[in-house]
């Protein structure tokens, strides 16, 4: 469904992605693990159309999207929930979610998705009239994911959704990822929490300083001695 071939990204003199290739099949959860600065966020940002200095092929359902704008990419069905808390602090939870659906017009389908999102995130449902900026860090992160889902994407890209969350919430995030996938959405997940990410993933890639060094099923990478040593604490 998504095919990346020989993708390079430069930031000035920094060669952040050095010709990576990866596939995200329809209906799957694919994860990208790697240390800080390996290029995980850059990969998602390149797919989302946010980076100018890139080279290579990004094909989505058979069409090259590497030259498209971020808005066109959302319209094509790919949405990214960025790392950190990029929500609208002065808008309520409900308004933040409505904004996620701005490119859609089918009111009935939007309402249905809103119900589903509130089912996935009961905490957000309870706080629907509260301003985004008054939510806890973890809740804001969940709001960012929920807002991404409101665009009814075919592919949702999650950048470190478990970052900085308490252990209980981390568990919740990974169970939500499964539920999103059960609903038919394809997921491309970037995570530092390598074990949980590999557990949930059908396919996984290890990124090291801009190069993919290993790939396989989530299970096979959990069993791989090199992955255990470098990312799973031996």
Q: Where does this chain bind ligand ATP (CB under 6 A)?
A: 11, 14, 16, 34, 36-42
Q: How far is the CB of 4 from ligand ATP (least distance, A)?
A: 14
Of 42 and 66, the one with the shorter C-beta distance to ligand ATP is 42
> Using an 8 Å Cβ cutoff, are 68 and 76 in contact?
yes
To ligand ATP, the closest distance from the beta carbon of 160 in angstroms equals: 6
CA–CA separation, 31 and 190 (whole Å): 6
Give min distance, CB of 144 to ligand ATP, in A. 15
What 3-state DSSP class applies to 132? helix
Rank residues 39 and 161 by Cβ distance to ligand ATP and give the closer one. Answer: 39
Strand (E) positions, the chain? Answer: 2-11, 14-24, 29-33, 54-60, 63-64, 78-81, 155-159, 186-191, 203-208, 211-217
Buried b (16+ CB within 10 A) or exposed e, 15-35: ebbeebebebeeebbbbbbbe
Is the CB of 37 or the CB of 77 nearer to ligand ATP?
37
Question: What is the smallest separation between the CB atom of 24 and ligand ATP, expressed in angstroms?
Answer: 17
Cβ closer to ligand ATP: 14 or 179? Answer: 14
């Amino acid at each position: 469904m998504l095919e990346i071939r020989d993708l390079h990204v430069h930031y000035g003199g920094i060669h952040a992605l050095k010709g990576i290739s990866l596939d995200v099949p329809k209906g799957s959860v694919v994860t990208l693990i790697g240390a800080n600065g390996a290029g995980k966020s850059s990969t998602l940002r390149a797919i989302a159309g946010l980076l100018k200095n890139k080279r290579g092929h990004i094909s989505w359902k058979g069409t090259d999207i590497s030259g498209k704008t971020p808005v066109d990419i959302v319209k094509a069905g790919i949405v990214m929930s960025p790392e950190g808390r990029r929500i609208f602090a002065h808008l309520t939870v409900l308004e933040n979610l409505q904004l996620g659906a701005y490119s859609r017009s089918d009111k009935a389908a939007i309402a249905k998705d809103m119900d589903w999102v509130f089912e996935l995130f009961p905490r957000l449902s309870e706080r629907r009239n509260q301003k985004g900026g008054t939510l806890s860090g973890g809740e804001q992160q969940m709001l960012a994911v929920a807002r991404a889902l409101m665009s009814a994407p075919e592919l949702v890209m999650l950048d470190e959704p478990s970052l900085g969350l308490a252990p209980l919430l981390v568990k919740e995030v990974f169970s939500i990822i499964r539920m999103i996938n059960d609903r038919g959405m394809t997921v491309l997940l970037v995570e530092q929490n390598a074990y949980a990410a590999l557990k949930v993933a059908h396919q996984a890639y290890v990124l090291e300083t801009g190069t993919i060094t290993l790939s396989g099923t989530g299970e096979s990478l959990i069993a791989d001695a090199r992955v255990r040593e470098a990312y799973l604490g031996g």
